[in-house]
């Protein structure tokens, strides 16, 4: 069997159009990512994820960004509403880790019920005074000592619910003062500061199966954004110690230069295992998958290990879990 394309691609809308179905069959991307534009209600979403896997002819991973707060693709009235992760952690105080585990387990139950099995969370970036507002309340704390146990709680809650977590954004986005959706952030901190803080928040998470890169330049190491930098991928692999599947942040973001296809080629050449492209027309999606090419043997081995972590949910009484979460104080769920 030939290797899947080293790509995770988005879709145009809430239904799989015939032309998209044909493209998925022809290109065979490793996975698909869904956005709010793809979501209407549970029945529609369940049907869509089933059609995606049928088109690909395998139990392909289906990604979504369901952090809670501003970054949530599944929303009320069909799904729970969640405060931003940092707000939830602060509101829970000494019970932050338990609250975050419960939150993640309940999110996982909602995702698994509609056929979504990969959630792009948690953000282990540090929430610092300079952190851009687009990211700050998506973080979990201001120091590695705060972030690590909270990120692990979220990741473990997702895994218990049958959903794979994606830690992000390696090697650290918290010091960026620009929004990478619109501009390329440059973090001028020296090596020793980054190693002691931003990188340190990810090292204890390096055993998790999937991670996402940051579209951020770290001049102390390289002049290229981390997603497209062999030097920074080396930091992620060697210094941070992440050995799992490394996925690019969305290549449709304006932080990167060039066409989507050029960005994909640069990310794969730098050492990303998979190029993620969520937004763009069908021609761009085709170009990204073609530029990414088939997964390398090493990327395939990592992908196999990732899917081996995809296990059925541990049985749980979600009503009891929701009641426990509510008992930890206001500000945990809408």
**Active-site residue numbers?**
181, 249
Residue 112 region by backbone torsions, left for phi larger than 0, else alpha for psi between -120 and 50, else beta:
alpha
Phi first, then psi: give them for residue 276, nearest 5 degrees: -105, 130
Rounded Cα distance between 300 and 1, Å, is: 12
Give me the residue label for tokens 């296809």. 261
Task: Give the residue among 333, 316, 41, 331 at the shortest CA–CA distance from 159.
Answer: 316
Distance of CA 314 to the CA centre of its chain: 22
Q: What is the DSSP string of 166-188?
A: EEEEET--TT--S-TTTS--B--
3 state SS of 47: helix
Task: Give the residue among 198, 187, 188, 203 at the shortest CA–CA distance from 239.
Answer: 203
The two beta strands, 66-68 and 71-72, are: antiparallel
For the chain, percent helix, then strand, then coil, each to nearest 5? 45, 15, 40
182's tokens:
């619109």
3 state SS of 229: coil
- The residues facing 213 across adjacent strands are 170
Rounded Cα distance between 239 and 234, Å, is: 7
Provide the 10 A C-beta neighbour count for residue 76.
Answer: 10
Phi first, then psi: give them for residue 56, nearest 5 degrees: -85, -15
Distance of CA 119 to the CA centre of its chain: 6
């Amino acid at each position: 069997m030939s290797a899947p394309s080293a790509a995770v691609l988005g879709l145009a809308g809430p239904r799989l159009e015939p032309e998209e179905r044909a493209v998925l069959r022809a290109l065979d991307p490793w996975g698909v990512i869904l956005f709010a534009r793809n979501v209407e209600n549970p029945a529609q979403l369940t049907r869509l994820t089933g059609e995606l896997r049928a088109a690909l002819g395998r139990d392909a991973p289906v990604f979504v960004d369901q952090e809670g707060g501003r970054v949530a693709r599944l929303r009320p009235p069909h799904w729970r509403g969640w405060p931003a992760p940092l707000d939830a952690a602060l509101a829970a105080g000494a019970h932050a880790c338990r609250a975050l585990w419960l939150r993640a387990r309940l999110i996982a139950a909602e995702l698994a019920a509609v056929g979504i099995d990969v959630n792009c969370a948690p953000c282990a970036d540090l929430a610092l005074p300079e952190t851009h507002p687009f990211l700050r309340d998506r973080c979990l704390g201001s120091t590695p000592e705060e972030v690590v146990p909270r990120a692990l709680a979220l990741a473990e809650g997702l895994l218990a619910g049958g959903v794979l977590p994606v830690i992000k954004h390696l090697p650290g986005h918290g010091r960026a003062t620009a929004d990478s959706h619109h501009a390329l952030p440059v973090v001028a901190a020296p090596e020793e500061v980054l190693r002691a803080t931003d990188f340190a928040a990810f090292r204890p998470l390096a055993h998790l199966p999937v991670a996402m890169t940051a579209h951020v330049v770290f001049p102390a190491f390289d002049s290229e954004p981390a997603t497209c930098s062999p030097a920074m991928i080396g930091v992620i692999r060697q210094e941070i110690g992440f050995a799992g599947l490394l996925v690019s942040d969305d290549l449709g973001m304006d932080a990167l230069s060039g066409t989507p296809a050029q960005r994909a080629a640069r990310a794969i050449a730098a050492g990303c295992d998979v190029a993620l492209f969520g937004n763009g027309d069908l021609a761009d999606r085709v170009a990204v998958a073609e530029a990414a090419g088939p997964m390398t043997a090493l990327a395939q081995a990592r992908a196999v290990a990732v899917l081996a972590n995809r296990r059925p949910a541990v049985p749980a009484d979600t009503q009891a879990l929701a009641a426990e979460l509510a008992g930890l104080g206001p500000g945990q769920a809408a």
